[in-house]
């Protein structure tokens, strides 16, 4: 019996729910099923690549597939760029981030993430001024997303600007008071002599 094309997205949505519930094994199984159902689905290739992060060669294969199949889709291109950066491929991430930016038409719900990515790329390339500027903009655009606060605070901690990092952490915790990483940063920074 043939499955409806929407089943791939259904499997991926159920996988996201499983991750949110802490059922990583179930999520992996659902993502594998989605990919088996449609090996040419860019989102399934992307999600499977994330599952394969501990085997970078295999992950890169599926990231290339996702980027090829999702050409013109800025959401896929942006997400692939993020994973490439996690794998240490700064050039590949930069290329796809630029490509995603070119493909945006109208409103783009992931724009704060793309700005955050630009900041992380600038930092990886040694341009700390551009990195701080972009990370600050991303946090201002979407302060309710804890990872923007985390990324900016982590950048400031690396610069040993502890007082500023603590300010960012406090601002981020107003939106996401239970975020474990932000709480860890707060505990660490309150024990650190703050540089002014």
Over residues 71-95, the pLDDT tens digits come to: 999 999 999 999 999 999 999 999 9
Q: Is 1 exposed, middle or buried (0-12, 13-18, 19+ CB in 10 A)?
A: exposed
Reply yes or no on whether the pLDDT at 1 is more than 90: no
> What is the mean pLDDT of the segment spanning 108-130?
96
Phi/psi-derived region of residue 170, left when phi > 0, alpha when psi is between -120 and 50, beta in every other case: alpha
Give the DSSP letter of residue 3.
P
Domains of the chain: 1-107 (1.25.40.10), 109-196 (1.25.40.10)
> What is the mean pLDDT of the segment spanning 106-132?
96
Reply yes or no on whether the pLDDT at 195 is more than 60: no
Reply yes or no on whether the pLDDT at 163 is more than 80: yes
CA dist 68 and 71 (Å) reads 5
Which pLDDT score is estimated for 79?
A: 97
């Amino acid at each position: 019996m043939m499955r409806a094309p929407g089943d791939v997205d259904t499997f991926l949505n159920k996988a996201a729910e499983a991750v949110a519930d802490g059922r990583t094994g179930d999520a992996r199984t659902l993502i594998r099923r989605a990919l088996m159902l449609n090996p040419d689905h860019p989102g399934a290739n992307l999600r499977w690549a994330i599952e394969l992060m501990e085997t970078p060669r295999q992950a890169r294969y599926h990231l290339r597939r996702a980027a090829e199949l999702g050409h013109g889709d800025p959401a896929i291109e942006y997400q692939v760029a993020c994973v490439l950066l996690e794998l240490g491929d700064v050039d590949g991430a930069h290329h796809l981030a630029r490509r995603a930016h070119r493909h945006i038409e109208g409103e783009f719900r992931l724009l704060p993430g793309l700005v955050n990515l630009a900041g992380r790329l600038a930092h990886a390339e040694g341009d700390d001024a551009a990195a701080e500027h972009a990370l600050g903009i991303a946090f201002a655009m979407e302060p309710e997303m804890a990872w923007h606060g985390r990324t900016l605070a982590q950048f400031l901690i690396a610069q040993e600007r502890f007082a500023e990092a603590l300010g960012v952490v406090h601002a981020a915790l107003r939106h996401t008071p239970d975020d474990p990483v932000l709480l860890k940063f707060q505990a660490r920074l309150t024990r650190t002599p703050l540089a002014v």
